[in-house]
Amino acid sequence: MEETSSRKCENCGGALQAVDADALKCPYCGCTYSLKKTEQPRTAAGVTASAPQASNTTESKSSGARIFLILFFLVFVVIVLAVIINNARVASVASSSSTDSLKGDAGNASLKILSDDDIKEAHEPHIKKTNPEPEVMITKHWVGMDEGDKVIMIGYRNKGTHEFERVDFTMQLFDGQGRELTVPDSEKTKQLFKRTDPGESDSNEWMLENGLTKAKTAKITLKKVVLDSVVWDY
């Protein structure tokens, strides 16, 4: 090949050699140049010298996209974990609060549902009475059978000057040998719901179940009388 000293290789600075009438070639790096358009050198494979830069740019963009996807995934994982931890903490606090609210009533077999009368009574003044005889007299009580059921009947008379809304009694039960039976707390108090005017009498009977059917006798004690605006406690 004929060396052309006036032309230098733009890639390595070596003297170019004529390949044919239309092309020059660098014997050192292999770049070829067209005499018709010599702005950019070509590699031995016919690719311009700027092609590797384009490849590097593509690889850089691809690498940046991968980094962005990785960062996005990590942020997503952190958010999901934060939501799970927060939900678990809220559930734990709610469960703890529910447990604490039930501890105070752990000795009861069931929760008591307050009636309108209970709520009303809680706001009424209570007056302690030591002797119910002037106002209330228990007229009768007995334990017996009624249509095949063991029952206890309690009667009283309003001897006072006030109308009664409710009268509560507590009871003790005894078997045929005089031994006291165990009465559940929910059964110890009997309530007679009926407005009773002064001078009137009233009574009611309640069925005895389970072990209470062994009862033969009973002891009845007046517990309270509920009036319109006050409660008498005995």
Mean pLDDT, rounded, for 124-138: 87
Residue 167's φ and ψ, nearest 5 degrees, are: -130, 130
* CATH class (in words) of the domain with range 116-233: mainly beta
Task: Give residue 57's pLDDT band: very low, low, confident or very high (50, 70, 90).
Answer: low
- What is the helix (H) or strand (E) element at residue 61, kind and residue range? helix 51-103
Which tops the pLDDT comparison, 208 or 10? 208
- What is the helix (H) or strand (E) element at residue 173, kind and residue range? strand 164-174
Contact (CB, 8 A) for 42 and 34: yes
Task: Give residue 50's pLDDT band: very low, low, confident or very high (50, 70, 90).
Answer: very low
Contacts for 199 with CB less than 8 Å, ≥ 6 apart: 157, 158, 159
Task: Give residue 38's pLDDT band: very low, low, confident or very high (50, 70, 90).
Answer: very low
CA nearest neighbour of 201 among 142, 153, 138, 152: 138
Q: How far apart are CA 196 and CA 164, in angstroms?
A: 5
Q: How far apart are CA 97 and CA 150, in angstroms?
A: 44
Instruction: State the chain's mean pLDDT as an integer.
Output: 81
pLDDT at 44: 47
Task: Give residue 49's pLDDT band: very low, low, confident or very high (50, 70, 90).
Answer: very low
Contact (CB, 8 A) for 105 and 111: yes
Mean pLDDT, rounded, for 154-162: 93
Percent of the chain whose pLDDT exceeds 90: 43
Instruction: Summarize pLDDT for 161-188 with one digit per residue, the tens.
Output: 999 999 999 999 999 999 999 999 989 9
The two tokens of residue 196 are 């009773």
CA distances to 14, 32, 42, 48, 57 from 37, rounded to whole Å, are: 19, 11, 11, 12, 26
The gap from C-alpha 166 to its chain's centroid, in whole angstroms, comes to 41
pLDDT at 114: 59
Going 34 to 39 to 44 to 47, the CA torsion angle's sign is negative
Classify 138 in phi/psi space as left (phi over 0), alpha (psi -120 to 50) or beta: beta
Residue 176, exposed/middle/buried by CB under 10 A (0-12, 13-18, 19+)? Answer: exposed
Which tops the pLDDT comparison, 94 or 103? 94
Domain spans in the chain, listed from the N-terminal domain onward: 2-49, 116-233
